[in-house]
Amino acid sequence: MAKLRMFANLREIAGTGRAEFPGDTVAGVIDAASETFGPEFARGIETSRVWLNGEEAHPGDRVGDGDEVVLLPPVSGGSQPAAISSLDLLAFLPLAVAVVAIVANMQGPEIWAAAMVAVASAWALDLGTSFVARGHLFASLAVATSAAAGALAAHVLGGAGYGLTVALAVAICLGWAVGFNQYRRVEVFAPTCLAGLLAGLAVASMVLAHSSLSPDPRAVDVFLVAVIAAVALGGVVARMPAVPFLDSYSTTAIVAVLASIAAAALWDADVVGYLLIGLGVAVSLVAGNGLASMLRTGRVRLAERPPGLAPSLDGVILAAAIYFPLIRVIL
């Protein structure tokens, strides 16, 4: 008997997230599940991604007692639908995060710092769900703690706190591995440490960009405009039917640069400087797609949407992590 785990609508149809079925292959287990749960369940499987013991599976892969087959529908990271559906709107969850960031940006530094830690923690939890779906461990709480440490270091030490965040994030992840045996394995520690570094640096960078140390008081405003516009339009293009010479990556990059220039011109800031900064943000957002695929699936597949409710936040976190150094050097 092989274990079968189901997510999103498949779990709702089946009425359970876990079950056991007989079968010598992945296809045999799935066929047995389809016979049990009915035709609607079978149709849902057609657009789902299939994993076996944490790795992407093929129908003919052999399974034995204790092996785990995982079914991930599109809303949880399965194959990409060609058009926008009501469930696919969950992919725009980062826009809800954007609303929180915009509101927090209008408040004092304490509220802003708390909001950034909350966003980084939400990102860590979303990453964690992707790892759990693959049958792997991920220390989301260690990443959230690293984010809080980055905020504290930047608030207390200023620019020096940004550099100290690197040491703090590594120390926190190492401490987690020492305290909990299950997090000592390389395949668990490495992604946790990478995510902790990014979360800590992103929060520290945003706290500093919002402080008196920023070379431009409008720096955070420009960042939010560029990132929100780029992620939103890139997400729309990704869900449209294929258009020649138009893809989500180029759209994201171009919009990030243009939005940076437009925001700088609107607020009478250094347009040339923000052109260069916009290029850095654009590269980070696009690179974040590769990062999302690598972290969430264990391999780089840019043609498929990675699992999770907010994989586009991976690029935003990466862009935020380098933003304060960019504006300090360029402006």
- Three-state DSSP class for 22? coil
- 57: pLDDT strictly greater than 80: yes
Q: Mean per-residue pLDDT for 11-38? A: 89
| Geometric angle at alpha carbon 316, from 91 and 296, rounded to 5° | 60
d(CA 95, CA 103): 12
DSSP string, 73-138: -GGGT-SPPSS--TGGGGGGHHHHHHHHHHHHHTS-HHHHHHHHHHHHHHHHHHHHHHHHHTT---
Gyration radius of the chain over CA positions: 21
Residues 6 or more apart whose Cβ sits within 8 Å of residue 55: 134, 298
Q: Mean per-residue pLDDT for 286-304? A: 76
The number of helix segments (H) and strand segments (E) in the chain equals: 12, 5
Q: Mean per-residue pLDDT for 252-278? A: 95
pLDDT, mean over the chain: 86
Percent helix, strand, coil in the chain, to 5, is 70, 5, 25
Looking at 3.40.50.10240, 3.90.380.10, 3.40.309.10, 3.10.20.30, the CATH number of the domain 2-76 comes to 3.10.20.30
- What pLDDT was estimated at residue 114? 95
Share of the chain above pLDDT 90, in %: 51
For residues 47 and 73, the answer to whether their CB atoms sit within 8 Å is yes
| Geometric angle at alpha carbon 158, from 315 and 278, rounded to 5° | 35
What's the number of CA atoms in the CB half-sphere (13 Å) around residue 15?
3
Residue of higher predicted confidence among 8 and 121: 121
Q: pLDDT by residue (tens digit) across 90-140?
A: 445 666 788 899 999 999 999 999 999 999 999 998 888 888 777 778 999
- What pLDDT was estimated at residue 244? 67
| Geometric angle at alpha carbon 319, from 314 and 154, rounded to 5° | 105
Residue of higher predicted confidence among 58 and 304: 58
For residues 253 and 308, the answer to whether their CB atoms sit within 8 Å is no
Pairing of β 55-56 and β 49-52: antiparallel
Q: Mean per-residue pLDDT for 270-276? A: 95
Residue of higher predicted confidence among 276 and 1: 276
**pTM of the predicted model as reported, rounded to 2 decimal places:** 0.77
Q: Mean per-residue pLDDT for 269-283? A: 95
Domain with CATH 3.10.20.30 in the chain: 2-76
Q: pLDDT by residue (tens digit) across 164-205?
A: 999 999 999 999 999 988 888 888 899 999 999 999 999 999
Share of the chain above pLDDT 70, in %: 90
Q: pLDDT by residue (tens digit) across 80-92?
A: 433 334 344 444 5
- The closest of 114, 185, 184 to 148, measured between CA atoms, is 114
